[in-house]
A and B are shown apart, each in its own frame.
Chain A
Amino acid sequence: MELFRLTVAEARKLLDKREISATELINSVYRRIDAVEDRVRAFITLTKGQAAGMARNAGTKIKSAGPSSPMLGVPFAVKDNMCTKGILTTCASKILFNFTPPYESTVTSRLNDEGYVLVGKTNMDEFAMGSSTENSGFHVTRNPWDLKRIPGGSSGGSAAAVAADECIAALGSDTGGSIRQPAALCGVVGMKPTYGRVSRYGLVAFASSLDQIGPITKDVRDSALLLNSIAGHDPLDSTSAPVSAPDFTAALGRDIKGLRIGIPGEYFIEGIDPEVARAVRDAIRKLESLGAVPVEVSLPHTGYAVATYYVLATSEASSNLARYDGVKYGFRAEGKDLMEMYMKTRSQGFGAEVKRRIMLGTYALSSGYYEAYYRKALQVRTLIKKDFEEAFKSVDVIVTPTSPSAAFKAGEKADDPLQMYLSDIFTISVNLAGVPALSVPCGFTPDNLPVGLQFIGKHFDEESVLQLAYAYEQATDWHKRDPDL
């Protein structure tokens, strides 16, 4: 077996038994990258030089006595909106084309402490705004299952890199589905933890109250392992929850017999691709056969989620992106005076979708509109949160499709932002409510495109989500398929 195909758990075993070295592992990953990256284009920056050094260090640590950290010597891809000290961090935006942070994000800092190996920084929709990675300011990433199609987004680079075995695992960020939707479209496992579970320090903000970092992995066990490494309170992030994280792998393998799974009617609507609906229904039957008890639930405010999201997320974004003004770092256009410098810098530095959202958000926060848009959206957000609280009174986990369709063709929705926004219709509510959710492969369309199944849990109950997803994964073979590259 080629080493690049390994999961984190498998790599750990082989590394610790010294059957392979960290250097052999990263070399194998880079051989894979050499073979497929010009077609997939998952990365913005490859850090081959640093990776070699990190692997050597990991090798030394593995040889020394004592137990290895879980991620020691494991090659990771990191979405390019997480700051890596001394390594270009662009957010796939021209406005940060030359930005090298002098600080490290908390998540990569924790992985660094464990001795991970950074393969590179992955492509994304600019500032994480998009669902196809077509909004990257640099290039389009392709879906490894069909290179004519998009990998989803905004963490499309990370999902594609995992699917194409260009890394062992990856980090993504999820504001409205940006981990789960590309994971579903690329046939891998993607988890958005509970808001506050993972530190956002060093994650370039899109919408602060919704953003959350999470793992994109080849299987559910790896998701739990990676979450173990990155979860937990961070004094540098006031919104990170002061709760200690459990060992998430402990939930794996627990019997799911009797677990109540909620099926929300609002998520099985017209417009959903019939192949996706079929795969998800099959998956629910499979869960039932494993002992889970399906229960119909209602999330009555689901229909308002997309609108609510696009008011709140754009409002926060309009403010979060104000710092890119050409004054301190990043791209600056020359202007005859300050105002012209500002205008040219931001006009030329931001892409169309980012500008569209800045304008939307600026409008929603404007005096005279604030009450009608921003405050109203906050109220609806509370209702959506309550929907989940109500539903979770009768079920343990909610099961839905991750995305209404499988991967679409590049360019297909690029000119229709509304159509594009609807690809997050099943994932957005989760961010508004702040609850955890995970997407796991649950089948393929006749075109051989992966379909994702979403498990949604209660606040800080990633364990039940992992438990069910793992049980489902173990009973199926979908995750074992590889794209033909």
Chain B
Amino acid sequence: MKYEPVIGLEVHAQMLTETKIFCGCSTKFGSEPNTQTCPVCIGMPGVLPVLNKKALEFAVRTGLATGCTISLYSRFARKNYFYPDLPKGYQISQYELPICEHGRISIIVDGTVREIGITRIHMEEDAGKNIHEDRGNFSFIDLNRAGVPLMEIVSEPDLRSPREAVEYMKKLRAVLRYLGVCDGNMEEGSLRCDANVSVRPSGQKEFGVKVEIKNINSFRFVEKALDYEIRRQIKVLGDGGKIIQETRLWDSGMGVTESMRGKEEAHDYRYFPEPDLVPMVVDKKWTDEIRASLPELPDVKQARFVSGYGLPEFDADLLVSEKAMADWFEAAVKAGGKPNSVSNWMKGELVRLLNEENKSFDDCPLAPEQLAGMLKLIDNGTISGKIAKTVFDEIYKTGKEAEVVVKEKGLVQISDSDEIEKAVDDVIAKSPGEFERFKAGEEKLAGFFVGQVMKLTKGKANPRIVNELLKKKLSS
């Protein structure tokens, strides 16, 4: 039997606010344990939460950018459970009346556009972190993260393959980063993902029994974990078994999902409205202001890159995947670079060099103007495309202008026919046998002669002239 997977994602995104959601403590990552805490986020007796308006604004921004309806009346709720990293014994979250509902995000998989529904986006506070270091029988708790604002973005069960799930995550991450509401760093945990996945016989309308997978903390693992889980479920069903509704943990080391022991009984979180916070009444004027301040989002930018710059769809997709990359592209074009050349150099050489150094367009050492300057030198014949690769490495490393590098290193292309002819003659003289075969019609030897000439001129000979001269020699 053929099965179809049904996937929904719950994504937790840490908001990029300066301070925590209900107190004034810093949200900075990586500080000494418990140095960014106060009576409020430690959950001391008698203290009260006060909502950080920035967190609300970020949630509204995200909602507007994903086509959600913004609830003009929304409220917080308490999610009750005991855990040492949860200082109050409850998490302030939203349950009934979340801030955003009914949105969508579109993704492209195999050239097909798919609209993925967003059920809701709600705000909540993060918990702290338990530290189980080898210090006798004690565990430690770091509450620096407790109270850091999170958005939980819940998708509809609209995804039909692990690849779609990955594309959705990538698109969502791009949108969050465009909006400046989340840095999208999955390694540091600022973007986390739980997945609900089930399978059903192809053509069946009803959903199968779903399993929740937790602890998926990279794009690679989204695909791997889902692949594994789908195969597991299909096998269970194929063997005549039944899927149990449960929570499974992704073990990236073993590459498997495993049932979370001890959590067999469903949690009863005893949600109820948070009495310490008044309901949020969002004013239409304010949401309109936020809407007006939204940046151009990836989809719109992509379309503009295709129509405005004549880029292929695929290139445009890549360029808009990061706002910094798209901005870099436009700056290079503005500095005189031809869109297609800029794009080609970016996705080829530049991305390669950035990857080598583990850098991104946010901290790109090369200025867009440098690339544009180099492209000018190619266009006006000062340097060859081949030499340009050397020049590119150099301007990337040194920060110098291409013109300067070309001058310093004497890389100017030789377009002087006499000089090149001399080189051609030298090469022919050194390889009389090859030349005879070439003359006799072994055309593929053209490449050999061009290569030898280039070698002799240290790559500076204008390849067009080299070819012309070779042709001339052949017919002489």
**Which partner residue on chain B sits nearest A237 by CB separation?**
B48
CB-defined contacts of B88 to chain A, threshold 8 Å: 322-323
A238 at the interface (CB under 8 A from B): yes
Complex contact B276–A99 (CB within 8 A): no
Contact with B along A281-316 (1 / 0, CB 8 A): 000000000000000000000000000000000011
Stretch at the interface among B37-45, B197-205, B233-241, B393-401: B37-45
Complex contact B46–A102 (CB within 8 A): no
Complex contact A201–B82 (CB within 8 A): no
CB-defined contacts of B278 to chain A, threshold 8 Å: 238-239
B418 at the interface (CB under 8 A from A): no
- The secondary-structure label for the interface of chain B is loop
CB-defined contacts of A365 to chain B, threshold 8 Å: 80, 270-272
Point out which of A81, A202, A315 has the most chain B C-beta atoms below 10 A from its C-beta. Answer: A202
CB-defined contacts of B433 to chain A, threshold 8 Å: none
Minimal beta-carbon separation of B279 from chain A (angstroms): 10
Complex contact B270–A328 (CB within 8 A): no
Complex contact A238–B272 (CB within 8 A): no
B117 at the interface (CB under 8 A from A): no
**Which partner residue on chain B sits nearest A89 by CB separation?**
B45
Complex contact A370–B48 (CB within 8 A): no
A203 at the interface (CB under 8 A from B): yes
B149 at the interface (CB under 8 A from A): no
Complex: how many Å from CA A91 to CA B46? 11
Complex: how many Å from CA A322 to CA B54? 28
Minimal beta-carbon separation of B391 from chain A (angstroms): 60
CB contact under 8 A between A319 and B87, given known A208-B276, A366-B268, A367-B270: no
Q: Contact residue range for chain A?
A: 35 or more
Q: Which of A197-256 contact B (CB under 8 A)?
A: 200-205, 207-209, 235-239
Complex contact A319–B45 (CB within 8 A): no
Complex contact A103–B80 (CB within 8 A): no
Instruction: Identify A103's interface contact among B47, B50, B270, B276, CB under 8 A.
Output: B47
How many chain B residues touch A (CB < 8 A): the figure is 28
A329 at the interface (CB under 8 A from B): yes
Complex contact A99–B275 (CB within 8 A): no
Complex: how many Å from CA A370 to CA B45? 26
Complex contact A315–B272 (CB within 8 A): yes
Minimal beta-carbon separation of A419 from chain B (angstroms): 28
CB-defined contacts of A322 to chain B, threshold 8 Å: 80, 82, 88-90
Complex contact B80–A328 (CB within 8 A): no
Complex: how many Å from CA A202 to CA B47? 5
Contact with B along A80-97 (1 / 0, CB 8 A): 011100000101000010
Complex contact B50–A96 (CB within 8 A): no
Complex contact B87–A83 (CB within 8 A): no
CB-defined contacts of B50 to chain A, threshold 8 Å: 235-238
Complex: how many Å from CA A421 to CA B45? 25
CB-defined contacts of B49 to chain A, threshold 8 Å: 238
Complex contact B275–A208 (CB within 8 A): yes
Complex contact A323–B43 (CB within 8 A): yes
Complex: how many Å from CA A112 to CA B43? 24
Complex contact B46–A204 (CB within 8 A): yes
B353 at the interface (CB under 8 A from A): no
Complex: how many Å from CA A102 to CA B37? 13
CB contact under 8 A between A338 and B84, given known A89-B45, A102-B39, A203-B46: yes
Q: Which of B252-309 contact A (CB under 8 A)?
A: 268, 270-272, 275-278
CB-defined contacts of B367 to chain A, threshold 8 Å: none
Complex: how many Å from CA A5 to CA B44? 37
Point out which of B47, B78, B80 has the most chain A C-beta atoms below 10 A from its C-beta. Answer: B47
Complex contact B275–A367 (CB within 8 A): no
Contact with B along A360-382 (1 / 0, CB 8 A): 00100111001000100000000
A101 at the interface (CB under 8 A from B): yes
B141 at the interface (CB under 8 A from A): yes
Q: Which of B18-62 contact A (CB under 8 A)?
A: 39, 42-51
CB-defined contacts of A203 to chain B, threshold 8 Å: 46
Q: Which of A91-140 contact B (CB under 8 A)?
A: 91, 96, 99, 101-103, 105
CB-defined contacts of B141 to chain A, threshold 8 Å: 327
CB contact under 8 A between A101 and B82, given known A315-B272, A323-B87: no
Complex: how many Å from CA A327 to CA B141? 9
A174 at the interface (CB under 8 A from B): no
Complex contact B270–A204 (CB within 8 A): no
Complex contact B80–A238 (CB within 8 A): no
CB contact under 8 A between A238 and B46, given known A101-B39, A328-B87: no
A325 at the interface (CB under 8 A from B): yes
Point out which of B39, B44, B46, B268 has the most chain A C-beta atoms below 10 A from its C-beta. Answer: B46
A460 at the interface (CB under 8 A from B): no
Instruction: Identify A83's interface contact among B46, B90, B275, CB under 8 A.
Output: B46
Taking A322-B82, A342-B82, A367-B268 as given, write out 13 further A-B residue pairs in contact, using a Cβ cutoff of 8 Å, ordered by the A residue number. Answer: A91-B45, A102-B39, A103-B47, A201-B48, A208-B275, A322-B80, A322-B89, A324-B45, A325-B89, A327-B84, A328-B42, A365-B80, A366-B268
Q: Can you list 14 A-B contacts with CB-CB less than 8 angstroms, sorted by A residue number?
A: A102-B39, A102-B44, A201-B48, A202-B47, A205-B276, A208-B275, A235-B50, A236-B50, A237-B48, A237-B50, A238-B49, A238-B50, A315-B272, A325-B89
Q: Which 6 pairs between the two chains have the least Cβ-Cβ distance?
A: A322-B89, A208-B275, A365-B270, A209-B275, A204-B45, A204-B46
